[in-house]
Chains A and B, each alone.
Chain A
Amino acid sequence: MRQSVLRRFRLASQLVFFALFVLLLVRTEFNTSARSAGDALQLPHPVSLFIEVDPLVALGSALATGSLYRRLAWCLVILVPTFALGRFVCGWICPLGTLNHFFGSWTSEKKRGARLLASNRYQRWQTVKYYLLAVTLVLAVFGSVTLLLLDPISLLVRSLAIVVLPGIHALSASVTATLYNSSIPGARLTADVFQFAAAHTLLGFRQPHFQQVAVIGLVFGALLALNLRVTRFWCRAICPLGALLGVASRWSVLRLQKNDAACDNCNRCLLHCQGGDDPVPGAPWRKAECHLCFNCAGDCPQHALRFAFAGPPAKAVDGPELQRRKLIGSLALGAGLLPVVRGAGLLATNPDPRLVRPPGSLAEPKFLERCIRCGECMKVCPTNALHPSFTEAGLEGLWSPVLVARIGYCEPGCTLCGQVCPTGAIWEISVEEKTGKKPGNAEPVDPVKIGTAFYDRGRCLPWAMGTECLVCEEWCPVSPKAIYLVPGDVVDAKGGTRRVRQPYIDLKRCTGCGACEYACPVHDRPAVYVTSIGETRSKANQILLERGQRPKRASRARSAL
């Protein structure tokens, strides 16, 4: 087959996989079609598929937990062919690679003529990603997959879900509003059609707002902009998945055959090289860097370059050329980083009260063994309750999900965050387990608690101002309600006494869902707020003494998965 034809296949493959990626991401949301059996919400598509076939996520998770959660073993579909073929994922499948490919095709002052050719030669700094991979994996061995936030799929899901899609939503909403309120004939109908189309394709029903949008957006923008300096700088220098696949292709059999005799040194093979792997004759081909994009072979006017499974041994460097000293240094760095980042156990001794994790989350150390900060849970949360943390979980927990009840509360009948979590940091639980209600359960079972609500009596209207309110009680979704009312006397400004019903929290019934905090009319700093104490996942973060003496929590769901 002509190798220039393969290039077209490659482009088609990139487009198809990118479209599939975006489709799955967009479908990562509550949808009315998500209601299947009875009342439970079940997403119809495996929306976390790209993360679940990601070998780096699987390897990190396996090193940290000694197991592969749910569908993570499907990464073999990617990994096994890589052993034989090389980094085809980078050139043909990876959606972030495709984005970088696109932006890398833009010309700039730094990538013109001889400078373009020079920029596409192999550079020593391309080995940085291997050292980064080493640090990442050593950290994982010691129980933290924090650096998997650099996994390209995790990074892209997070960036699109937290930054890009909400941005598009805001733009589209302002277009709709302008049309809807305009007096031009037909504008209102156009607005309705536009809104319907937008809501049923790219956007969810409600405008999401996220914490940390600026930081995540800047990182994403910067790594795309770097393509204007060096094509696919991210893929060549940083991407830990690319590094892993580079290492995995050590013994791959698909190789670039260079016919040095036919070469007339036109350097065309360097014009569109993606990996910076020196396809040019006269230099050794760097197998671990090649994305198998087939541009060099397709561009060569002499047909002096071709990829083949067999043939005479070519001059090539098979693996990454690492320096032992740097590698050992990286391993040591990875081992040393964790105690420093964990602040010698600061989180355990002084936990942030606002670290409210989504329902089903494992205990914090187990959680950090798994959470790769992909943001799937934040994307799917129908109430926009989950946000990338900044300081709440410490530096190690950067961008892991935290429930911000002021923005959204946890809906009792929803377990979507656990359904989409690819690594089991948020374990998949059923609605029955979450609410503690299972038909046929003779013994009452505790619901899953994510925290506990408390009143700030200095701000609460009935407590501080003698005014009826009780919005919190109205919203409390558990039955019987976890907020109870007791009439109390309050002295008003004139010195008179007013009797109003004042709310109290029943600590045993409160699940920490945050509906009260969400609904509290004291808008800026709510008079009722949720903190993490009492969360089911933690043995230490408790107040009540009764826990443990009450009927045992059902453990079936854990073992069944």
Chain B
Amino acid sequence: MDRRLFLQSLARAGALGAGSVGLGAWLRGRSERPVEAGAVAVKRRQFIADNPGLPLLATARGESPRALVRAAVESLGGISRFVQRGEVVVVKPNIGWDRSPDLAATTNPDVVAEVVRLCREAGASQVIVTDVSCNDARASFDRSGIAAAATAAGASVVLPEPHRFRMVNLRGEILTEWPVLDAFTTADKVINVAIAKHHSLTGVTLGMKNWYGVIGGQRNRLHQRIHESLVDLTAFVTPALTIIDGYRVLRRNGPTGGSLGDVEERKTLVASPDPVAADAYAARLFFDLAPPQLPFLRLGEARGLGHIEVDASRLAERTV
């Protein structure tokens, strides 16, 4: 081996050694006990301020689901009160189950589509219709008729695919770090289009229970402190408007139903910017439940999310 080759080899070996030592030291310095990635803090405050000159709660009764939506929103001052030009709006129906619309386990597709149309008319730049379903989402979106109706009305229907969730700190009393469907973290306004259903644990599934559908993860744990959880979720979402679809009401075997015998046609819609008032009124109207029987309403009122009792003068009832 000549000197030149010897020196070359030595230089290579030396460089390799130095590189290894450097890499090793660098990696050693990086070693930390793993911690879960931190949750994002999302600030949302999108409640619509009360206008004493307008009704706080509106109901509409009639044959056409589309007319009901128009009438109820009109009573509350029109859609322009809730949606401004250029805003991104998320319309959140209940698409929890793989059931056809007549079984009343999911929001009436015509009601959803009409809300979408109203938002488009108000100049919303994008209307997103989404939900985190319990059953297979694609099947539920499809069978509920909501995917087709909302798409036809001009909405972007977004399926809750795994990559769309972000870990968010909900800053609730019970709920802190949960994966949230990102449309709810970025939207300018969120409109709740819930359906009125029986539910064994909470008594009823109305608007506040519908916020179950903004989070993913192991949300079946929520049932253990369901009332506090619902309040936490509502406080996080701060919906601009709550619409309770009572066109068909699921009276028994909720929230899944499955039999036409469980369904009662009430052909009524309840709408309010106040999520507590909407639920309280609908509970009484559709299920003869006194709101104090429903702890999530009491807790919601105590948390300042709204009012259980609505003065008769602030009530607008219409038949169309």
Contacts and interface: CB of A to CB of B under 8 A. Distances in A.
Interface of A: 30, 32, 35, 39, 173, 176-177, 180-181, 191, 195, 205-207, 382-383, 411-414, 437, 461, 467-471, 473-481, 485, 501, 519-521, 523
A203 to B, nearest CB: 11
Interface string B123-135: 0000000000011
Contacts of A520: 220
B223 A411 contact: no
A521 B252 CA distance: 24
A45 to B, nearest CB: 18
Contact of B162 (A35, A177, A478, A519): A177
7 contacts: A32-B142, A173-B163, A176-B163, A411-B139, A475-B134, A479-B252, A479-B257
A205 B137 contact: yes
Contact of B258 (A181, A383, A477): A477
Given A30-B136, A195-B163, A479-B258, A474 B253 contact: no
Given A412-B258, A477-B258, A479-B257, A39 B200 contact: no
A340 B99 CA distance: 47
B142 A461 contact: no
Interface string B201-222: 1000000000000000010110
Contact of A413 (B143, B147, B200, B253): B143
Given A414-B139, A521-B221, 12 more contacts: A30-B139, A180-B164, A181-B163, A195-B161, A413-B99, A468-B201, A469-B201, A470-B223, A479-B259, A480-B259, A501-B200, A519-B134
B200 A521 contact: no
Interface string B145-164: 00100000000000101111
Contact of A485 (B200, B257, B258): B200
B226 interface: yes
B224 A467 contact: yes
Contacts, number: 97
B98 interface: yes
Contacts of B261: 479
Contacts of A39: 100, 143
B307 to A, nearest CB: 26
Contact of B218 (A180, A207, A467, A521): A521
Contacts of A30: 136, 138-139
Contacts of B138: 30, 32, 205-206
B226 to A, nearest CB: 7
Nearest to A477: B256
List 5 tightest A-B contacts by C-beta distance, closest first.
Answer: A479-B259, A479-B258, A521-B220, A177-B163, A479-B253
Contact of A382 (B139, B147, B259): B139
A461 B200 contact: no
Interface of B: 97-100, 134-139, 142-143, 147, 159, 161-164, 199-201, 218, 220-221, 223-224, 226, 252-253, 255-259, 261-262
Contacts of A480: 252-253, 259
Give the dominant DSSP class at A's interface.
loop
A383 to B, nearest CB: 6
A479 B262 contact: yes
A205 B133 CA distance: 13
Nearest to A39: B100
Nearest to A521: B220
B139 A191 contact: no
A32 B252 CA distance: 29
Given A177-B162, A195-B161, A478 B100 contact: no
Given A32-B138, A205-B137, A468 B253 contact: no
A206 B162 CA distance: 9
A191 B163 contact: yes
A173 B164 CA distance: 11
Contacts of B259: 437, 479-480
Nearest to B224: A467
A191 B182 CA distance: 14
Contacts of A176: 161, 163
B184 to A, nearest CB: 16
Contacts of A523: 218
B199 A474 contact: yes
Nearest to A501: B200
B220 A519 contact: yes
B299 to A, nearest CB: 15
A200 B244 CA distance: 34
